[in-house]
Amino acid sequence: MRINKMAAVPENRALSYGVFKWSSYSSTYLPENILVDKPNDQSSRWSSESNYPPQYLILKLERPAIVQSITFGKYEKTHVCNLKKFKVFGGMSEENMTELLSSGLKNDYNKETFTLKHKIEEQMFPCRFIKIVPLMSWGPSFNFSIWYIELHGIEEPGVVQPCLNWYSKYREQEAIRLCLKHFRQHNYTEAFESLQKKTRVALEHALLTELHDRLVLRGDFQACEELIDRAVRDGLFNQYISQQEYKPRWSQIIPKSSKGDGDDNRPGMRGGHQMVIDVQTETVYLFGGWDGTQDLADFWAYSVCENQWTCISRDTEKESGPSARSCHKMCMDSQRRQIYTLGRYLDSSVRNSQSLRSDFYRYDIDGNTWTLLSEDTAADGGPKLVFDHQMCMDSEKHMIYAFGGRILTCNGAADDSRGSEPQFSGLYAYDCAAATWRLLREDSCNAGPEDVQSRIGHCMLFHSRNRCLYVFGGQRSKTYLNDFFSYDVDGDHVEIISDGTKKDSGMVPMTGFTQRATIDPELSEIHVLSGLSKDKDKREENVRNSFWIYDIARNSWSCVYKNDQAVKENPAKSLQEEEPCPRFAHQLVYDELHKVHYLFGGNPGKSCSPKMRLDDFWSLKLCRPSKEYLLRHCRYLIRKYRFEEKAQTEPLSALKYLQNDLSLTVDHSDPDETKEFQLLPSALFKSSSDFIPLGFSDVDQTYAQRTQLFDTLVNFFPDSMTPPKGNLVDLITL
Amino acid sequence: MRINKMAAVPENRALSYGVFKWSSYSSTYLPENILVDKPNDQSSRWSSESNYPPQYLILKLERPAIVQSITFGKYEKTHVCNLKKFKVFGGMSEENMTELLSSGLKNDYNKETFTLKHKIEEQMFPCRFIKIVPLMSWGPSFNFSIWYIELHGIEEPGVVQPCLNWYSKYREQEAIRLCLKHFRQHNYTEAFESLQKKTRVALEHALLTELHDRLVLRGDFQACEELIDRAVRDGLFNQYISQQEYKPRWSQIIPKSSKGDGDDNRPGMRGGHQMVIDVQTETVYLFGGWDGTQDLADFWAYSVCENQWTCISRDTEKESGPSARSCHKMCMDSQRRQIYTLGRYLDSSVRNSQSLRSDFYRYDIDGNTWTLLSEDTAADGGPKLVFDHQMCMDSEKHMIYAFGGRILTCNGAADDSRGSEPQFSGLYAYDCAAATWRLLREDSCNAGPEDVQSRIGHCMLFHSRNRCLYVFGGQRSKTYLNDFFSYDVDGDHVEIISDGTKKDSGMVPMTGFTQRATIDPELSEIHVLSGLSKDKDKREENVRNSFWIYDIARNSWSCVYKNDQAVKENPAKSLQEEEPCPRFAHQLVYDELHKVHYLFGGNPGKSCSPKMRLDDFWSLKLCRPSKEYLLRHCRYLIRKYRFEEKAQTEPLSALKYLQNDLSLTVDHSDPDETKEFQLLPSALFKSSSDFIPLGFSDVDQTYAQRTQLFDTLVNFFPDSMTPPKGNLVDLITL
């Protein structure tokens, strides 16, 4: 849910409107009631006559305006008719509206304001009509009620008129471009030219016009290949590439064995350990963990370049570093080349006022020295001893943020009145320079919008560019949390991204307890690798790995892969694909510079051998088609078509072309493409009639087929250069 | 709900499809489950994961086909997840689908089949994709389940291929026509001409091209008026007229008093009387009724032409006709000029085996004689003595149909075992020539699809062209019935039009007990005048009259007027409008030849004076704009614009034109138009810039304004002649 940011814009003010149309209303709950704000009057609301769709209100603004936000008033108490889900549309006419918002109201008494989409790229667009479409009420079988609506925006003619002009010009232009595209596809040359001459609207970038000329008009395929080649080199395919789905590529790392002696030249089996990565030197640091029987204190560094582990210390305690531990957290200051560690899990048997002190260490990489920053952070105003918390480094401001984790207590100790009831640690900031702790948020139950709920086993990531912490998932006692919020560390402001009620049928990862997440500030993406649920009965749900990406800018989740799907779609494939088995208590770090993930160890959750821990080490690359791949692919498409055209007239030279030029461009490692290639010769015997595409019966067949190839190639270019994606005829409905 | 009529079509067969896409599914209720029909398997169904819209299934047919019907299988028991409301869409691509059906399933275990829209006018269109969109489940807050789907239609290429060709040609043509319209509007003359030359697509009928030439290009307004004049005379505006809403015109009839002596030259106050009309002679016959204290036996004829009542008989019993009675029924055989009457109400006090015999009379108009057809129709295999039944004449086959009514019994009489429990009479046919009765349907509780439920106070109308009886409304003991069905008298087949569950927020009249209905076989319309509920607590609901029209072909209800609305919108207006007060026990007859309704008497339901009955007499005409009105209106539009254009250049002659030519065309009885006319002179001082319409900044202002007028005038012509209604730019969304 978005918070109203409009306060910033000066011109923004309340817009006067009337209720123009409605789907229905019941008894005295007239649509006009939304014009007045009477939270204490039960009857001052619009209520639909049923919840059978479509139900809606259409508001008409007094004059066209840039509508920037909508505010919903409510009843003074919670109400079953409040809108749990709704959409808002807007436009200059009733028939032609765009979606401006899709959201929902909290079932409380607070007014809620939502920013409405009012720009395309940077251009503001005007609305005369606003349509509110309720989708779900809080009481499932109840009618929809709206108590009060306020619209805010700009109506100054000085601002709006230019937008109006832009709007009608925009539609005119897009219409003309669709015509031009259609005319050219159908070879209505004269109409095309006179329309272009008259309107001076450009169908596409000159480069593509040239491509069309070479390919469709002249059939100069060589020139096309060169043109594409140049385009790729000039980076014109980058936008396309950035829009392609990632394909995960896991590969197990088999490190070089130094001096080749024994297994002790690499970290042993463990879970609950910690890892950080120094992206400059491409070094992964690993410390501690639980090997199934005991806590560990060994400290390792893995060099990607040398593909080798080095043991920095067999026992850090001996070097005045931290004692053996697991379920602690580590974070790295790449600028200053320092590593911090905080927290640990202690079995209740060994807990006492001594052991329960929360020590806090820093490791200096270059000096190879440990420093005890605090014997007990609680004493310094920081967190008590916690485990399964989260910690992030903010190198820029030289700050550390620590959030959540369960506070360890001596059960049954006299002084501990609430030993039974679990306590969770709040959100703290540590100023490394001043060596001071500050409590930013106490554990709360999200009473207010600025409160946060502490937890364990959650994910927390720091976005070094927008300087926000992103928190999601985790667990509180028995409840798994599905909420997702960000915390602006400079503004000290919480924003709820998803309250966890949203149910997008599998479009959101099943966040739970043991997933692992990383962030890529450059791409503004969060990556999530599903974990294996600790709780055995829940394992069916995600007994296979899935990998998710959250696009911060678009506020949208997408699933890179789910193995159960892979299996369904292509059993063979997923068997070949080697990947780490599902697990928990493992570690995942991300090198955002080289875009590589590293995963080590963890607990495979084998009920038969509960003490078993893993020591496998993996790298994960998320791959998209490369420029080279696309160039080759385009060449293949062009030559394949060139062959098919040849095949119609000069079969022999076509066959020669197939064997020499075409085969060069085939990706023989790709089974589908290879198969296609093998079937091509049959084209030599195909009757040409098989080739005419539907709806092109009016133009010469060669022209139609070349046009199809052109449209295919055009898809690789950025939208700003291409003709409109749509087709004129597709706008015609029956 | 429609019954599958497809059985008739030979080629029709099951179409093979796969499930292509889905909005969501829960646990094991996979979309594919709809492919198999397992009514006894709880889990063999698709179930959505939520009922939060949009939820859908998209099916992909193996090959393009004409999809004529869809069949829904169900679970063997009723189920909360059954679809109470759903829509079905279809098309050749996912993006471009048309609505094919909007309906709902009964919550039972019977398969249901629905005919899908598969033609535009007479042209069948092909589909490759079928989208099923659940809207409501029977359990309000439950997810949607579909158990089994079968599609039937035609896939023979011989039939489908031509449809495919038509479809792509159709879309291409419509696209081109939109271009042509747009180009002409914007004066892209060259592009317009070359496109038309190349595609040979016609934008409009030649007549309209001429109109455009005269009006927009030449500004020859005189020629335009002549053109419109011819068009109106040639009936080109008839389609437009037929699409306009009816306006009701009530007028109270004050009959001439013959010999001027006293009140007894017209029927007195009464309710429960009967009326029929002879449309040839325009004569209304009225017989019997209850005046508040006693049954009546007087018999009257009203001549529309003479506007005069004639008393045929003061007491028909004296002329061996029926005794005094009320709540009887009458029907008229216009061919043979005969009137039949059957049934009556008897107060329990006077009931005995003698009086309970159901006599049956015929009146011969020309002979002015009554004939007793039967002393007791029950004895002849016809209905027992009933009241509040219905009776219709089928002159063509010389048959009478009688349905429903409550059977009168001697309460507490020894022989009557079930005196307490009301009995209702079934559907009977009387063969006038053979003088024999036949029972067509016994009273039933709609167990099977061919059963009908008897009732009292319902409406029954005979459609002499499609030879169906239409039955709706009425009451059974305490329950008001809202169902609507037809009975094909030749095919002896019942078709349920609406099972009464439908709730279209006030789009269906509140049928109940006392509404009156008539039928217009020529227009295939049923007219309903709401009555006043007999039951006092229910009167709020329709304390004012409303008038409804059911379009049999379109299967759609529309409300001609509702007084409560009239009042809200324009209090003044509805006060002027004189109309009969709401009532029950009144009579309404319809002259389908002259399109006039006649209403007489009834019970105003005044709790204060329960014995009060009415003797007011009304005619009701449903009016649409006449040819003359439209011609005048078009003239007005043309001259108004002509004046505005003049006003820019030659104010003086413009003013003269205003006073002479323009004022002639103003409807001075129409306040709005008069007001507009009075404001016109101000145009003389308006700066021309006020005139430029949005989106036409690129063309000459005069051209743009003339184009607007042209588009207005075009709206009066039939769609087959006009350019496409839509505009190219309106297809462009942000």
Specify whether B237 is located in the same domain as B275: no
Percentage of the residues of chain A whose pLDDT score is greater than 90:
67
The reply to whether A166 touches chain B by the CB within 8 Å rule is no
- Check residues A208 and A697 and name the one with the higher pLDDT: A208
Asked if residue B306 belongs to a domain, the reply is yes
- Are the beta carbons of B468 and B489 closer than 8 angstroms? yes
- Are the beta carbons of A98 and A118 closer than 8 angstroms? no
Query: What pLDDT shows up at residue A258?
Result: 63
- CA of A127: which chain B residue's CA is closest? B734
Residue A7 scores a pLDDT above 70: no
**A120 contact residues in B (CB cutoff 8 A):** 734
**What does the pLDDT look like over B224-267, one tens digit per residue?**
999 999 999 999 999 999 889 888 889 999 998 765 556 678 99
Asked if residue A485 belongs to a domain, the reply is yes
Residue A469 scores a pLDDT above 60: yes
Q: How many Cα atoms are found within 13 Å in the side-chain-facing hemisphere of A445? A: 2
Tell me the pLDDT of chain A averaged across its residues.
88
Nearest Cα residue to A579 out of A594, A592, A593, A566: A566
Structure token pair of residue A253: 């790392």
Nearest Cα residue to A161 out of A65, A67, A59: A65
Nearest Cα residue to A192 out of A201, A184, A200, A203: A184
Structure token pair of residue A346: 């202690």
Torsion on CA atoms A94, A100, A102, A107, rounded to nearest 10 = -90
Gap between the Cα atoms of B277 and B333, Å rounded: 10
Asked if residue B343 belongs to a domain, the reply is yes
Torsion on CA atoms A565, A568, A570, A575, rounded to nearest 10 = 80
Query: What pLDDT shows up at residue B346?
Result: 93
Three-state DSSP at A264 gives coil
**What's the full length of chain B, in residues?**
734
Q: Which amino acid is at A385?
A: L
Gap between the Cα atoms of B275 and B297, Å rounded: 13
Rama region for A600: left / alpha / beta (φ>0; ψ in -120 to 50; rest): beta
Phi and psi dihedrals of A404, rounded to 5? 75, -160
Specify whether B402 is located in the same domain as B533: yes
Strands B123-124 and B119-120: antiparallel
Facing B198 at nearest CB: one of A125, A188, A695: A188
CB-based burial, A204-240: b 16+ in 10 Å, e otherwise: bbeebeebbebbbeeeebeebbebbeebbeeebbeeb
Gap between the Cα atoms of B647 and B683, Å rounded: 7
DSSP A650-678: -HHHHHHHIIIIIHHT--TT-HHHHHHHH
Nearest Cα residue to B552 out of B516, B530, B528, B588: B528
Specify whether A366 is located in the same domain as A276: yes
pLDDT-based confidence at A146, cuts 50/70/90? Answer: very high
| Contact yes or no for A194 and B188 at CB 8 A | yes
* B380 DSSP 8-state letter: G
Gap between the Cα atoms of A599 and A527, Å rounded: 13
Gap between the Cα atoms of A197 and B440, Å rounded: 75
Can you give B126-139 as a three-state secondary structure string?
Answer: CEEEEEEEEEEECC
Query: What pLDDT shows up at residue A508?
Result: 59
- Are the beta carbons of A341 and A274 closer than 8 angstroms? yes
- CA of B53: which chain A residue's CA is closest? A135
Asked if residue B599 belongs to a domain, the reply is yes
Query: Is the preceding peptide bond at A580 cis, omega within 30 degrees of 0?
Result: no
Rama region for B259: left / alpha / beta (φ>0; ψ in -120 to 50; rest): left
**What does the pLDDT look like over B88-136, one tens digit per residue?**
999 999 988 999 999 889 899 999 999 999 998 789 999 999 999 999 8
Strands A484-488 and A493-498: antiparallel
Q: Which of residues 39-98 of A touch B (CB under 8 A)?
A: 49-53, 85, 91, 93, 95-96, 98
Q: Which amino acid is at B60?
A: K
Q: How many Cα atoms are found within 13 Å in the side-chain-facing hemisphere of B239? A: 11
Gap between the Cα atoms of A170 and B562, Å rounded: 44
CB-based burial, A370-381: b 16+ in 10 Å, e otherwise: beebbeebbebe
Report the domain count for chain B. Answer: 3
CB neighbours (10 Å) of residue B15?
A: 22
Specify whether B307 is located in the same domain as B331: yes
Tokens 């080109």 found at: B236
Specify whether A330 is located in the same domain as A212: no
**Integer CA distances (angstroms), A681 to A207, A629, A701, B517, B623, in order:** 33, 24, 20, 74, 73
**What does the pLDDT look like over A368-424, one tens digit per residue?**
999 999 999 999 999 999 999 999 999 999 999 999 999 998 864 434 444 567 899
* A580 DSSP 8-state letter: P
The reply to whether A699 touches chain B by the CB within 8 Å rule is no
Specify whether B605 is located in the same domain as B694: no
pLDDT-based confidence at A565, cuts 50/70/90? Answer: very low
CB neighbours (10 Å) of residue A282?
A: 17
Specify whether A90 is located in the same domain as A39: yes
Gap between the Cα atoms of B52 and A327, Å rounded: 40
CATH assignment of the domain containing A524: 2.120.10.80
* B109 DSSP 8-state letter: S
Query: What pLDDT shows up at residue A462?
Result: 98
Specify whether B637 is located in the same domain as B520: no
Asked if residue B544 belongs to a domain, the reply is yes
- Are the beta carbons of B58 and B131 closer than 8 angstroms? yes
Specify whether A619 is located in the same domain as A678: no
**What does the pLDDT look like over A60-76, one tens digit per residue?**
999 999 999 999 999 99
**B93 contact residues in A (CB cutoff 8 A):** 730
> How deeply is A555 buried, as exposed, middle or buried, from its count of CB atoms within 10 A (0-12, 13-18, 19+)?
exposed
- Are the beta carbons of A701 and A691 closer than 8 angstroms? yes
- Are the beta carbons of B84 and B141 closer than 8 angstroms? no
Query: What pLDDT shows up at residue B566?
Result: 39
- The CA-to-CA distance between both ends of chain A, in Å, stands at 38
- Are the beta carbons of A609 and A279 closer than 8 angstroms? no
Specify whether B138 is located in the same domain as B235: no
Asked if residue A707 belongs to a domain, the reply is yes
| Contact yes or no for B505 and A49 at CB 8 A | yes
Specify whether B283 is located in the same domain as B346: yes
Facing B734 at nearest CB: one of A120, A199, A734: A120
Query: What pLDDT shows up at residue A537?
Result: 58
CA angle (B103 as vertex; B50, A97 as ends), nearest 5: 65
Q: How many Cα atoms are found within 13 Å in the side-chain-facing hemisphere of A419? A: 11
Query: What pLDDT shows up at residue A621?
Result: 93
Which of the listed residues A118, A135, A155 is the one where a domain comes to its end?
A: A155
Gap between the Cα atoms of A182 and A724, Å rounded: 10
Domain ranges, residue A346: 250-258+267-408+421-563+578-623
**A191 contact residues in B (CB cutoff 8 A):** 191, 194-195, 198
Lowest mean pLDDT among A164-178, A181-195, A547-561, A717-731: A547-561
The reply to whether B310 touches chain A by the CB within 8 Å rule is no
Query: What pLDDT shows up at residue A568?
Result: 42
- Are the beta carbons of B544 and B564 closer than 8 angstroms? yes
Residue A97 scores a pLDDT above 60: yes
Q: Which amino acid is at A146?
A: I
**Integer CA distances (angstroms), B103 to B116, B355, B448, in order:** 11, 49, 20
- Are the beta carbons of A381 and A429 closer than 8 angstroms? no
**A734 contact residues in B (CB cutoff 8 A):** 91, 98, 120, 125, 167, 170
Asked if residue A647 belongs to a domain, the reply is yes
Structure token pair of residue B372: 């007793």
Facing B135 at nearest CB: one of A52, A95, A191: A52
Residue A690 scores a pLDDT above 60: no
Facing B98 at nearest CB: one of A98, A140, A733: A733
Distance from CA of A24 to the nearest CA of B (A): 6
Residue A363 scores a pLDDT above 70: yes
Beta bridge partners of A15: A151
* B268 DSSP 8-state letter: -
Task: Give the residue ranges of chain B where pLDDT is below 50.
Answer: 1-10, 412-418, 503-506, 540-542, 565-576, 689-691
Specify whether A77 is located in the same domain as A213: no
Asked if residue B509 belongs to a domain, the reply is yes
Gap between the Cα atoms of A333 and A362, Å rounded: 10
Gap between the Cα atoms of A400 and B159, Å rounded: 73
pTM of the predicted structure, to 2 decimals: 0.76
Tokens 């070949």 found at: A576
Percentage of the residues of chain A whose pLDDT score is greater than 70:
88
Gap between the Cα atoms of B391 and B621, Å rounded: 25
* B256 DSSP 8-state letter: B
CA angle (A327 as vertex; A321, A332 as ends), nearest 5: 55
Gap between the Cα atoms of A368 and A365, Å rounded: 5
Gap between the Cα atoms of B472 and B467, Å rounded: 17
Query: What pLDDT shows up at residue A410?
Result: 81
| Contact yes or no for A168 and B199 at CB 8 A | no
Gap between the Cα atoms of A465 and A461, Å rounded: 12
| Contact yes or no for B697 and A136 at CB 8 A | no
- Check residues A166 and A559 and name the one with the higher pLDDT: A166
**Integer CA distances (angstroms), A182 to A194, A218, B214, B364, in order:** 14, 19, 31, 73
Cβ partners under 8 Å of residue A282, min gap 6: A303, A304, A305, A591, A594
Distance from CA of A171 to the nearest CA of B (A): 6
Structure token pair of residue A56: 């809606």
The reply to whether A568 touches chain B by the CB within 8 Å rule is no
Query: What pLDDT shows up at residue A435?
Result: 96
ipTM of the complex: 0.74
CATH assignment of the domain containing B36: 2.60.120.260
Residue A602 scores a pLDDT above 90: yes
**What does the pLDDT look like over A490-530, one tens digit per residue?**
999 998 888 766 544 445 566 556 789 999 999 999 999 88
